[in-house]
Amino acid sequence: MRLTLRLTSVLAAAVFSLTATRTHAQQAQQPFILNNEFPTQGDAFYEFKWPVKKVAIIGAGAGGLISYRTLSQAGYEVLLYERDHHPGGNWHYTEETPPDAPIPNLDPAIADFVPSLPPKGITLPFEEVYDLEDVGREKRAFRAPKPIWRGLRSNAPKVIQQIRELPWPEDLSWDISAIQLQGYLRAFASYHGINANDENPNVFYNTRVELVEKRYDTNTGEHRGWRLTLKEFKQIGSKSVKARWWTEDVDAVVIASGRYNAPNVPGIPGLDEWNAKFPGSVTHSRVYKTPEEYENKTVLIIGAATSGAEISGIINPYAKKVYLSNRGHHDPHYQYPWDIFLTYVPDNVTFVPEIKAFHPANSAKESIIEFVNGTKLTGIDRVISSTGYRYSFPFFPQYHDTSLGDNETASEGPQPLVTDGSHIRSLHLDLVYIEEPTIAFINMNLGIQSFTYSEYQAAALASVWKGQAKIPTQERMWELFEKRLEEFGGAFDKHWLYLGTDGTQGV
Ligand SMILES: Cc1cc2nc3c(=O)[nH]c(=O)nc-3n(C[C@H](O)[C@H](O)[C@H](O)COP(=O)(O)OP(=O)(O)OC[C@H]3O[C@@H](n4cnc5c(N)ncnc54)[C@H](O)[C@@H]3O)c2cc1C
Ligand SMILES: *[C@@H]1O[C@H](CO)[C@@H](O)[C@H](O)[C@H]1NC(C)=O
Ligand SMILES: *[C@@H]1O[C@H](CO)[C@@H](O)[C@H](O)[C@H]1NC(C)=O
Ligand SMILES: *[C@@H]1O[C@H](CO)[C@@H](O)[C@H](O)[C@H]1NC(C)=O
Ligand SMILES: *[C@@H]1O[C@H](CO)[C@@H](O)[C@H](O)[C@H]1NC(C)=O
């Protein structure tokens, strides 16, 4: 079924219309309603329970940096937190690798990281200095080196991977390199005084948001904004580190923490046993950096989407043989031309069907891989799982509910944001949490270019939180949500947040 919610164009039109028709709306005493039935005016709208003045942003990737610029220019007091020591998020390339992907998958609530909270009952801020055997490993676990690899070039034309005030040079080829994107985002951060060396008192690098909880007014006991528990983690000597925890109270939170943090490894029978028996032989594309380590190896790559297809081509001249397991994409929800990725795959990479089971024997080489069509394969040295990511917000344990699975509705309490990790639910326009519209998400969609898109999302938030644009009542937002879910097919899956560049959601 084809859905015709043209969300990108709606957001764009909404933001445009805010500037263009606000005067008209004000004159007519008719607030503009940010809705997916644009334009809808005259409806009842959501009333924020407290004024939004102070906003925290989680993440200094493209989305967080753009949000910082937009919200601070709109007059909000903005605080920015980034666990890495640099801005740029996904585009901050180093050859350091994150810890290997757990096999089997962890619960999505802790799949990105396990929150590190200060000792219970301690007065904050609390600071601890201690020695570590392997400082590098702990630092990597904290900052989570980003999942791109050496030589990566953008697969999006530069015009849609551009920030308004910083046009790319015209003569630059359109497939910009990761290194150029990294420099670009650093330049953008510097331009706005929010780079790591700007000593901006509102910007915190090496700082992870560990927990976001409701903050209650001490006099009235009412829910009024959010309390963040923050941890700064820094190396101060060859073996010694300093950890510092503190809290910060804000009126609203922008979650721009990225969607490529928690690796997904499929639960193929025997894979966890194989991994336990032959440590280091199975890895996730998140950890893949350079091809040299695959020299003379026979490699099986699971998953032939963007990463798997590209990695197969890069390691191919080094490896002895490369197999690429392609499940095929017959998903009716997906209209993306998947085969486009396969153009990266050289002729001498061997396609194999979906894997049915791993049968570990005495060594990886002797072990058997069984495919769904009944054929078997041996002689594999290394397996790379290029099988995507899951949504994981460890600072929000209260809004994760793994038990719910595909069920649309939790029986009591607030509707969760994340269940099995394949999607985020309970959002209005994929942007604000219907239960708590002072919580917003930036860039969580698939299929849309995040630089341009976050400009619109941040502009929409700046207007909504000021009351210049309105969102519908919670009841109406749920109605719209249910309607969209019904049109989508009645159950969530990983394409729930798919947003094509033509503005379509779903197929
Ligand atoms: C292999 C690969 C290739 C890609 N290629 C392209 C491409 O060619 N073109 C394209 O447009 N997009 C591409 N993308 C998508 C890319 O993620 C986006 O372009 C863009 O980087 C998203 O920006 P973001 O700010 O939303 O998230 P990110 O860039 O992921 O930034 C999120 C930031 O939040 C920080 N963070 C997370 N949790 C916390 C916390 N609890 N506390 C503090 N900080 C936190 C992270 O450290 C990170 O710096 C690719 C992604 C991958 C994985
Ligand atoms: C790979 O094989 C070639 C040819 O046998 C050999 O020269 C080379 O040293 C091998 N490389 C590694 C890393 O084993
Ligand atoms: C595939 O072919 C290319 C080009 O001839 C060659 O460089 C590469 O080594 C081959 N790879 C394998 C795994 O045979
Ligand atoms: C199974 O798939 C492999 C790889 O595509 C192919 O070579 C083989 O012929 C197939 N076997 C059967 C029984 O279809
Ligand atoms: C979904 O949740 C509702 C409400 O708790 C419950 O009645 C229903 O049985 C659940 N369905 C499934 C498939 O779990």
- Is residue 418 within 8 A of residue 133, CB to CB? The reply is no
**Nearest-atom index, ligand 3, CA of 319:** 13
Please indicate whether residue 348, judged by its CB atom, sits closer than 6 Å to ligand 3.
yes
User: Where do we find the tokens 């709109």?
Assistant: 74
pLDDT for 37: 52
Cα–Cα distance for residue pair 158/315, rounded to 1 Å: 26
Which residue minimizes the CA distance to atom 1 of ligand 5? Answer: 407
Give the count of beta carbons closer than 10 Å to the beta carbon of residue 178: 20
d(CA 301, CA 273): 18
Q: Which ligand does the CA of 501 lie closest to?
A: 1
Helix (H/G/I), strand (E/B), else coil: 478: helix
Is the bond into 104 cis (omega within 30 degrees of 0)? yes
Q: Is 293 touching ligand 2 by the criterion CB < 6 Å? A: no
> Which are the contacts of 224, defined by CB distance < 8 A and separation ≥ 6?
49, 50, 215, 216, 217
**Residue 210 near residue 230 (C-beta atoms within 8 A):** yes
Coil, helix or strand at residue 178: helix
Q: Please work out whether the CB of residue 292 comes within 6 Å of at least one atom of ligand 2.
A: no
Which residue owns the Cα nearest ligand 4 atom 7? 352
> Would the CB of 324 count as within 6 Å of ligand 3?
no
Query: How far, rounded to the nearest angstrom, does the alpha carbon of residue 367 sit from its chain's CA centroid?
Result: 35
Check if the beta carbon of residue 119 is closer than 8 Å to that of residue 245.
no
Atom index in ligand 1 nearest the CA of residue 160 equals: 11
What does the alpha-carbon distance between residue 353 and residue 475 come to, in Å, rounded to a whole number?
46
Q: Which ligand is nearest to the CA of 410?
A: 5
Residue 119, classified by CB atoms within 10 Å of its CB into exposed (0-12), middle (13-18) or buried (19+), is exposed
Instruction: Report the residue among 401, 409, 485 best suited for mutation to probe ligand 5: largest number of ligand atoms under 8 A from its CB.
Output: 409
pTM of the complete model: 0.91
Q: How far is the CA of 436 from the centre of ligand 5 (A)?
A: 23
Residues facing residue 233 across a β-bridge: 243
Spacing, Cα 260 to ligand 1 middle (Å): 6
Residues with pLDDT less than 50, the chain: 1-31, 38-39, 330, 332, 335, 506-507
Mutate to test the pocket of ligand 4, among 322, 373, 376, 377 (most ligand atoms within 8 A of CB): 373
- Gap between the Cα atoms of 307 and 315, Å rounded: 12
The preferred substitution site among 355, 371, 375, 376 for testing ligand 4, maximizing ligand atoms within 8 Å of CB, is 375
| Residue whose CA is at the smallest distance from ligand 1 atom 27 | 258
Element (H, E) at 208: strand 207-216
Q: How far apart are CA 171 and CA 52, in angstroms?
A: 43
Nearest CA to ligand 2 atom 4: 296
State if residue 376 touches ligand 4 by the CB under 6 angstroms criterion.
no
- pLDDT attached to residue 339: 65
Handedness of CA 145, 148, 152, 154 (dihedral sign): negative
H-state helical runs in 344-431: none
Q: How many CB atoms lie within 10 A of CB 502?
A: 10
Question: By the 8 A CB rule, do 439 and 433 touch?
Answer: yes
Residue 346 Cβ inside 6 Å of ligand 3? The answer reads yes
Residues near 24 by beta carbon (within 8 Å), at least 6 away in sequence: none
Q: Among all ligands shown, which has an atom nearest to the Cα of 58?
A: 1
**pLDDT given at position 5:** 31
Which residues are CB-neighbours of 261 under 8 A, at least 6 positions away? 111, 112, 144, 389, 392
Ligand 3 atom nearest 318 alpha carbon: 9
Residue 322 CB–ligand 3 contact under 6 Å:
yes
Closest approach atom of ligand 4 to CA 351 = 5
Q: Rounded to the nearest whole angstrom, what is the distance from the C-alpha of residue 407 to the centroid of ligand 5?
A: 6
Question: What integer pLDDT is reported at residue 503 of this predicted model?
Answer: 52
DSSP bridge pairs for 383: 282, 300
Ligand 5: distance of its center to the CA of 392 in Å?
Answer: 23
**Inter-residue contact 116 to 109 (CB < 8 Å):** no
Instruction: State both tokens at 244.
Output: 């510092």
Ligand nearest to the CA of 406: 5
pLDDT at 502: 55
Question: What's the gap in Å between 316 CA and the centre of ligand 3?
Answer: 6
What is the per-residue pLDDT for 20? 33
